[in-house]
Amino acid sequence: MADVLTFTKRGIYCAAGDFYIDPSKPVERALVTHGHSDHARSGMTRYLATRSAKPVIQHRLGPNAVIDTIAFGETRQIGDATVSFHPAGHVPGSAQIRVSVKGEVWVASGDYKTVDDGLSEPFEPVPCHAFITECTFGLPIFNWTPKDILARQINDWWATNKAAGRFSVLGAYALGKAQRLLTTVNPDIGPILTHGAIEATNIVLRNQGITLPQTIPVTPELNVHDHPGALILATPGAMAQPWGAQFGPDVSTAFASGWMALRGQRRRRAMDRGFVVSDHADWAGLNTAIRETGATKVFATHGYTGSFRRWLAEQGYDAQIVATDDPADA
């Protein structure tokens, strides 16, 4: 039987339906798992994404991008392929894409996490013959902090800083991570300020009905010192730039990422604190997700592919590596 999906220079390709999944080069028809820039790129003639992923993708790609939408679980015939989108739990609207051709079912996971973040549609295992899995954190050293402990860690850090008259500057990616932090922290502690890139995403998500706590965007007109002890959500890039200097020397800095599980990474970031929070699956999450698909064939992409493939092969899977040269978000 011919492969349902193949791996090309332009991305994951389905010959039966003549479309690509998360292509890296301009193509006619792109099925896009979610709005992160290593998945939703500009230059495609037509896009297909979930209804809840579309607003962010449109915001990022501009008004001229032609984006069709599909509901989670809805099937659609494209050429000889039947496709459907299923929650990946990564960011709001993020999907795994199921492609079925003549009874053979393949699933491309995109980015995913198995724990419910209370914001994204929770991950659902999709039975399939072949599963294309990311493995950004595909080593047994990555085991995420339980949600309640994480919330306590961040709230304690913020409250302590506030009591000492310091700002708390927390670095996080604009889409997904930032909003997850917003719904994790206790907004009663104090005001929450946001960097423009994060606030722009907040607005898009609020418009599609997602509830986020009140935030104050940091604009040139805003005097940040009117909000003493505030929590400031910043993109990693902004923290390093002059933007970060406006809060003065009396700040505590922290970064939220799966990489913060590693002491060496925490020290390299040179932040005061590192919180272990990721929108990708941890070791247990990856293993559980793969097992629950029932797939016998697994393709590892994005991450520790060498180690993870070998591990899967030893677990009895027909495991292969998909080479990509794109840096993944984490």
Partner 1 sequence: MKAAADLFARLDDPTGPDAKIAALLGYFQTAPDGDKLWTVALLSGRTPKRIVTANQLRAWAIACAGLKDWLFEDSYRVVGDLSETIALVLPPPSRHENHSLTHWIKTIKRLSRMDEETRKSAILNIWDGMPAAERFWFIKLLTGGLRAGTSESLLIRALAQLTGQDEPAITYRLNGTWSPDTTTWHNLIEASDPQLALSHPYPFQPSQQVENIADLGNPAEWQATHAWGGARCQFILRGGSHALWSQDGALITDQVPELAPLRDFLPDGTVIEGALRAFAGDAPLGADAVHARITRKKITKAMRAETQLVLIANDLLEHDGSDLRQSTLDIRHKHLKNHLTSTPDQLPLRLSSAVEFASWSDLETQRQTARTAGADGLLLRHRDSPYLASKTMRWIWNAPPLTVDAVLIYAQAGPQSRANLFTEFTFAVWNGQTLTPFTRTSTGLTDADLAELSTWVRKNTQSKFGPVRQVTPTHVFEIAFDDIHASPRHKSGVALRFPRVLRWHKDKPVTEANTLDDLKDMRATYG
Report the residue number, 34 or 309, with the smaller CB distance to Zn ion.
Answer: 34
Instruction: Give the nearest distance from C-beta 21 to Zn ion in angstroms.
Output: 12
Q: Which of residues 291-310 bind partner 1 (CB under 8 A)?
A: 304, 306-307, 310
Looking up tokens 């997602």, which residue turns up? Answer: 210
Is 206 a binder of partner 1 (CB under 8 A)?
Answer: no
Is 102 a binder of partner 1 (CB under 8 A)?
Answer: no
Question: Cβ(50)–Cβ(83) under 8 Å?
Answer: no
Collect all residues with Cβ–Cβ distance below 8 Å to 291 and sequence separation of at least 6.
none
Is 264 a binder of partner 1 (CB under 8 A)?
Answer: yes
- The strand pair at 11-14 and 6-8 is best described as antiparallel
Backbone angles phi, psi at 266, to 5 degrees: -60, -45
Report the residue number, 71 or 149, with the smaller CB distance to partner 1.
Answer: 149
Q: Which does 328 bind (CB under 5 to 8 A by kind): Zn ion, partner 1, none?
A: Zn ion
Q: What is the DSSP string of 231-275?
A: EEEE-HHHHHSGGGGGG-S-EEEEEESGGGGSHHHHHHHT-SEEE
- The strand pair at 46-50 and 29-31 is best described as parallel
The Cα–Cα gap between 192 and 185 comes to 10
Question: Cβ(67)–Cβ(57) under 8 Å?
Answer: yes
Q: Which of residues 145-184 bind partner 1 (CB under 8 A)?
A: 149, 164
| Interface region with partner 1, contact rule CB under 8 A, candidates 63-71, 192-200, 258-266, 318-326 | 258-266
Query: How many chain residues touch partner 1 (CB under 8 A)?
Result: 26
Report the residue number, 123 or 167, with the smaller CB distance to Zn ion.
Answer: 123
Report the residue number, 137 or 167, with the smaller CB distance to Zn ion.
Answer: 137
| Interface region with partner 1, contact rule CB under 8 A, candidates 38-46, 55-63, 133-141, 210-218 | 133-141
Query: Could you tell me which of 26, 28, 157, 20 has the C-alpha nearest to residue 97?
Result: 20
Report the residue number, 232 or 233, with the smaller CB distance to Zn ion.
Answer: 233
Report the residue number, 222 or 240, with the smaller CB distance to partner 1.
Answer: 240
- The number of C-alpha atoms within 13 Å of 125 and in the hemisphere containing its C-beta is 15
Looking up tokens 């730039």, which residue turns up? Answer: 241
Question: Which of 22, 111, 117, 199: binder of Zn ion (CB under 5 A)?
Answer: 111
Which residues make up the interface to partner 1 (CB under 8 A)? 139-143, 149, 164, 252, 261-264, 266-268, 270-273, 284, 304, 306-307, 310-311, 314
